[in-house]
Amino acid sequence: MNKKTLRITGAQMSFPVGAIQKNKQTILDCFEIAEEKETDILIFPELALTGYPPEDLLLRESFIGKNFAVLEELAEFSSNTSGVIGFVDRNLDEDHTDKQKRGIANAAAIIQNGDVKGIYHKCYLPNYSVFDEARYFAKGNNPGNLFWYNDVAIGISICEDIWIDEGPSLQQVENGASLIININASPYDQNKSNSRKELVISQAKKLKVPIIYLNMVGGQDELVFDGGSFVVDGKGKVIYQAKQFEEELFHIDIDLEVKKQPTGSTLEIREKSTELENLQSSEILSKNESLYAALELGLFDYVKKNNFEKVLIGLSGGIDSALTATVAVDALGSKNVIGVAMPSKYNSKESLLDAKSLAENLKIEFKTIEIERIVENFRATLTGVINEELGQTTDENIQSRVRGNILMALSNQTGAMVVSTGNKSEMAVGYSTLYGDLAGGFALLKDLYKTEVYNLSNFRNTISKVIPQNTIDKEPSAELRPNQFDKDSLPEYDLLDKILHLYIEEDSSSEKIISTGIDEKIVYDVLSKVDRNEYKRKQVAPGVKLTEKAFGKDRRMPITNTYIRERD
């Protein structure tokens, strides 16, 4: 079998949404390195020019035009190294399924020697989970299109296209492709890394050609793109694994089968005078390592891309605020994190000591603000208006909202962003206070169940012991009334999180959850709490997506909902 070697460079880089000029410079910097390496094909992620997902920016003609202008500039810059660049192309929508004509496509441009040599349009547009591509883009109608480098044919596809069993990749191989390049902006969740790889390995074995899976890296609002690009040979063996949650520019030589050269081939394979060093694959991160890295990257990029320098965190002495502050320090550095303890008469001395100990371990600025006098004034004012004793929930929420107000006032004064500390278990059942502990610009632990908060805290302490052991060991409590503990209002977290996972991630019915052996009264009570607290969750700040169904863009339930669950 006659073969030729193509040198491929994968640009697993961060491309912020809307930063077209910055993204252009990143692309140019990668081209400069690739030229030095005598690369044949330099690959960039899906929508690298615009960032992903650009959402309703795609409805602005000026945005689309800027993307075109920059692509032309990049094409003019190109020389022997060709580039595969994700961008937004024009498209004649001849097969629309509703009244809205969509005149743009999610596309990949192939540039070389000063010109755009070819364009591929994404054929399968995801319209589930966090994806809304069918809202904006028209489908590509040439899935089997090939791009010839002399007598070697390359098939290019975009993200979802590779997930279709008899989709573009199969058609491209049937048409003569010796290599499939799949460019992605695939967001992280804790189960996706393995499923991606299994899918691509299966495709490579079936198609008997190598596949390059290139992913974006970086945080964008609720999404974190985890990189983890890889290259699989025609037998399904992973021959290179890139880093996760880090930018990387990797170079690899791949031997590809030569086919009959078509007439009018315009892409070139360059002569090479150098050899590449042997590539060393990166280790795959464990579950806890990847969860922690996702939280770090998501917070770092949200803070920096939204032009903040510092963050404020209310430190209660509890496990949630401890993990939040620790991640913040690891992401942003100690000098950029401010911890604020706001004790009332119900807070134990032990909790304040735990908060102080955490702040000392993390080497962060620490403020203590006593709130009891403010809360008493608030109580007296309300009581004077309503002429009756305050209810327990009202009194508890006053304390939480005073704390929220103090944090937001400090945010206004210092310019630091408040990071709220609530976890997914609490938000699911409404064990949280609007405009109180839910106040903030970013809800870091929004998609992390309470049991996972404990797991990650213990994991982080294996690296360096910063979270006080007493914070981990003590009974969790909101400390808003005497002798209050979470277990007084909720099932034990192991049981609660099992119910929540079945209901939220797996969309299980109450009957199915009860059939697992859980008491039906507990199940009905938990599900009722989840259903009636949708209005709270809709008002929570964005947070890092970690599961297959995060609150926010991922899980979209109506607030006003009169559906009644039937009970036996």
Per-domain boundaries in the chain:
3-276, 296-486
- Nearest to 313, CA basis, from 326, 302, 298, 330: 326
Residues in the annotated binding site: 128, 186, 192, 314-321, 397, 421, 426, 536
Q: Which two tokens stand for residue 138?
A: 């028209």
Q: In what order do the strands lie in the sheet with 82-90?
A: 115-121, 104-112, 82-90, 41-43, 3-12, 248-257
Pair type for strands 115-121 and 104-112: antiparallel
Residues in the annotated binding site for ATP: 314-321, 421
Q: Which two tokens stand for residue 73?
A: 């500039």
pLDDT of residue 395: 86
H helices of 175-248, in order, are 192-207
Annotated catalytic residues are 46, 122, 159
- In this prediction the pTM is 0.92
Residues in the annotated binding site for L-glutamine: 128, 186, 192
What is the SS3 assignment for 298?
helix
pLDDT of residue 236: 92
Per-10-residue mean pLDDT, the chain, length 568: 90 96 96 94 97 92 94 93 94 70 90 93 86 86 88 92 89 92 94 87 94 96 95 94 96 90 75 88 94 97 95 94 97 97 85 93 96 91 86 88 94 96 94 90 96 96 95 76 71 93 92 93 92 91 92 84 69
Helices 349-362 and 319-332 pack at an angle, to 10 degrees, of 10
Reported as type and span, the H/E element at residue 27 is: helix 20-36
How many C-beta atoms lie closer than 10 Å to residue 383's C-beta?
12
- Give the CATH fold of the 296-486 domain: Rossmann fold (3.40.50)
Superfamily of domain 3-276: Carbon-nitrogen hydrolase (3.60.110.10)
CA distances, 230 to each of 45, 66, 223, 243, 314 (Å): 13, 31, 21, 9, 40
pLDDT of residue 270: 84
- Nearest to 301, CA basis, from 248, 223, 192: 223
Residues in the annotated binding site for deamido-NAD(+): 397, 426, 536
pLDDT of residue 340: 96
- Nearest to 56, CA basis, from 18, 20, 11: 18
CA angle 341, 343, 344 (to 5 degrees): 160
What is the rounded CA–CA span in Å between residue 562 and residue 175?
Answer: 54
pLDDT of residue 265: 66
Reported as type and span, the H/E element at residue 524 is: helix 520-532
DSSP of 39-78 = -SEEE--TTTTT-S--GGGGG-HHHHHHHHHHHHHHHHH-
- Nearest to 57, CA basis, from 220, 266, 301: 220
What is the rounded CA–CA span in Å between residue 356 and residue 360?
Answer: 6
